[in-house]
Chain A
Amino acid sequence: DIVMTQSPDSLAVSLGERATFSCKSSQSILYSSNSKNYLAWYQQKPGQPPKLLIYWASTRESGVPDRFSGSGSGTDFTLTISSLQAEDVAVYYCQQYYDTPYTFGQGTKLEIK
């Protein structure tokens, strides 16, 4: 199984500041035939289901604010919120869809400092 490891477990950032989340996979999730990284990022607020933010590691889902961006390739990935807003408080998960079983990171909890 591909193990997804996120860091840190929790993060406190001031409003308007940058928040950076890391996600590492135990093996490469870059598919050579199409040069795509099989990685998604989700946001989950309390009492709600996960919401898709980013897919193919860096493609922002329609309707997601442009302060959210994804980067990375192979085994190392980053989600960045460029200017934190109060409504961004949530838990953020990365997920690989390169192979079954599909696996998620343990999540990073984002709070306001």
Chain B
Amino acid sequence: QVQLVESGGGVVQPGRSLRLSCVASGFTFSNYAVHWVRQAPGKGLEWVAVISFDANKKYYADSVKGRFTISRDNSKDTVYLQMNSLRTEDTAAYYCARAAEIGDHLYRWFDPWGQGTLVTVSS
């Protein structure tokens, strides 16, 4: 079945870096855009970044622009989120989610979502 699995979360000190991975299965990964969405403990959902199916388009939330980088390796069915200069306010569960429609459709709903990986930024 269609599945996304995140990994790479953990506890990190402020100012340090972390790289998250999202491995896809059950569909032709190279045909879809992929998003990262985060959720701070007890809070709502915040979109973080998106990468198009061919990696030609990347967009970021202002809160992470210049610190986070989204990338993908279609040969490995994997999307990455490189997080640098981490702040305590980056503490959250990070979900990857697939764009709902095939091709160059960035402006679509998100489905499915992975189970998430927890990032804790603390000294």
Contacts and interface: CB of A to CB of B under 8 A. Distances in A.
Contact of A104 (B47, B50, B106, B113): B47
A77 interface: no
Contact of B59 (A40, A44, A48, A100): A100
B35 A102 contact: yes
Interface stretch (A10-18, A19-27, A78-86, A91-99): A91-99
Interface residues of B, number: 23
B95 A49 contact: yes
Interface in B87-107: 95, 97, 100, 106-107
Nearest to B107: A97
B95 A104 contact: no
Given A100-B50, A100-B59, A106 B113 contact: no
Interface of B: 35, 44-47, 50, 59, 61-62, 95, 97, 100, 106-116
24 contacts: A40-B109, A40-B110, A49-B95, A49-B97, A49-B113, A49-B114, A49-B115, A50-B45, A50-B110, A50-B113, A52-B109, A55-B100, A55-B108, A55-B111, A61-B111, A93-B44, A97-B107, A97-B109, A100-B50, A100-B106, A101-B59, A101-B61, A102-B35, A106-B44
